[in-house]
Structure 1
Amino acid sequence: MSEQQQRGWNCVWCAGWLPAGLSADLGQQRVIPETGASYLWFPRECLDTAACSERAAQ
């Protein structure tokens, strides 16, 4: 997953750019790896699920 997807700039499913107000916030997520420090990421997804599915399939 790219940094842009982890920061909520791009869709977590299709990696498409997400303009302000045109995405669904999936909530702050906390990752606690077995080794290393824990971190937060902020996934968002496209509102247009049909177009998102098409982009993800490419």
Structure 2
Amino acid sequence: MSHRTGSAAVAADPPSTLEVPPDIVALLALPGLEGLTDDQVRGAHCVWCKAGLTADTAVDFGERQTPLSGTSSAHGMRWYPRACPKCTADRAHRGLFDHAPSCEQCTDVAERCEISRALYRLVREGRR
């Protein structure tokens, strides 16, 4: 089951793999491929803390395609970033602080902002 907030859908509890919409992923500041292990690139380990992940614990950021270094081609390396709930919550919390001051909706009534609500859910899910 998932909750839909406009374009931001976040899976409900307990997640078998919590999926995060692309517009929210952009606010989480995924690391670049440089320095990631093969297990992080394929989604077996958290992209931030390197903790091992299972289908029940992973927060899925979807398939990504990163251009190869030194090329301007749209084709690049495909990777499958996932993270542990705690790291996702920490990044979502930072994302809220980055997003809210520049969001007109957040400055008026934060609970009406779809992005703010989705980030808050990620914080709450990761801190359970």
TM-score normalised according to structure 1 size: 0.72
Q: What are the equivalent positions in structure 2 for 1:1-58 lying under 5 Å apart?
A: 1-33=36-68, 34-35=70-71, 38-47=76-85, 49=86
C-alpha offsets along residues 14-41 of structure 1, whole Å, 9 cap, x if unaligned?
Answer: 0010022211001111011224961100
**Matched residue SS, 1:5:** helix
Report what 2:23 is aligned to: none
Structure 1 unaligned segments of length 5 or more: list them. 54-58
Deviation at 1:12, TM superposition (A): 0.2
Distance 1:38 1:22 in 2: 28
**Matched residue SS, 1:4:** helix
**Matched residue SS, 1:40:** strand
Identity of aligned residues (%): 32
Deviation at 1:9, TM superposition (A): 0.3
**2:81 is aligned with what amino acid?**
P
**Higher helix residue share:** 2
Q: RMSD across aligned C-alpha pairs, in angstroms?
A: 2.1
Structure 2 unaligned segments of length 5 or more: list them. 1-35, 91-128
Give structure 1 regions of 4+ aligned residues with deviation exceeding 6 angstroms: none
Aligned residues: 50
Task: Name which structure has the greater RCO, CA cutoff 8 Å, separation 6+.
Answer: 1
**1:9 is aligned with what amino acid?**
A
